[in-house]
Structure 1
């Protein structure tokens, strides 16, 4: 009986993990980790402060759904988040199948050669006096990144990040 109670309590804690983060219990906010990819490259994986965003995000798409991002109750000047991500090919175009091992290996090598690891500390905008709904990271051309904790949806007039979904990568990125 004791074992069954422990198992039920553990299941309850696991199921409620994303609905109330440690920060929320202390008066902060938190929620799901989402992303919007404004580039022609796929985002193979990403994380914010080492919390996974889960999904692969294709070019010019949104996704994510990782749990859980939490933040302190009060924003402070200089607050940053660490965004880590990998970019790669946006489709399986040119996939030769598995029958010809040599062609498959050449295709696979080409795909892996396109993968790039990125890491950037990104300022977290002031959220004092506002509802927070997790975090959304925007992957922009030239490996730029913006984040928001806004509860508004991308594209709504009150959403703070205004860049269009389909952005053109410049020939030369500023350094």
Structure 2
């Protein structure tokens, strides 16, 4: 297993850590190889901006990245306000109980012969993820990850 270095200049390119969330859950926090992606990512949104992620000049088979993240409820439904502290604390505890910690090590796709621009992680239903170092916009036909932004969670996730 080969882990990639972060924030090191490389001829292949360096850039920010971004995310696209294809789920109805919030991504409360995430990191790639321990480097923070910074922003909370709401359902069906993109964001991030953590610095920096770079790759070696040449891609090699076996390159991976470790993605750690916390997902949770995105709705503020039932928020009692702050006036009644006990009600607020009970609501906060209920919301925090829904948070889930995740960690996956995934292959880094081959980028040889391509420009690289940091890394983008796609959070998919069933706690699946995909990553890319592509410089293309997700709206561009050349962008390598094709899943629609709004994806429904299946009733049963594959094991």
Equivalent of residue 57 in structure 1, options 41, 60, 70: 41
- The aligned residue for residue 4 of structure 2 is none
Counterparts of 1:25-174 in structure 2, within 5 Å, are: 27-174=11-158
CA RMSD of aligned residues (A): 1.0
Counterpart-to-counterpart distance in 1, 2:20 and 2:46: 4
Tell me the TM-score normalized by structure 2.
0.93
Equivalent of residue 8 in structure 2, options 22, 32, 52: 22
Q: Which moved more, 1:65-74 or 1:88-97?
A: 88-97
Tell me the TM-score normalized by structure 1.
0.85
Hey, which bits of structure 1, 4+ residues long, moved more than 2 A? Answer: none
Q: Displacement, 1:30?
A: 1.3
Counterpart-to-counterpart distance in 2, 1:23 and 1:93: 45
Q: Which runs of 5+ in 2 are unaligned?
A: 1-6
**Offset from partner CA, 1:104-133 (integer Å, 9 cap, x none):** 121011111011000000110000000001
- The aligned residue for residue 13 of structure 1 is none
Counterpart-to-counterpart distance in 1, 2:46 and 2:8: 27
Q: Displacement, 1:103?
A: 1.4
Q: Displacement, 1:149?
A: 0.4
Counterpart-to-counterpart distance in 1, 2:12 and 2:145: 23
Whether the 8 Å contact between 1:23 and 1:73 is mirrored in structure 2 is no
Higher helix share: 1
Matched position secondary structure for 1:23 = coil
Q: Which has the higher contact order (CA 8 A, sep 6+)?
A: 2
Q: Displacement, 1:98?
A: 1.4
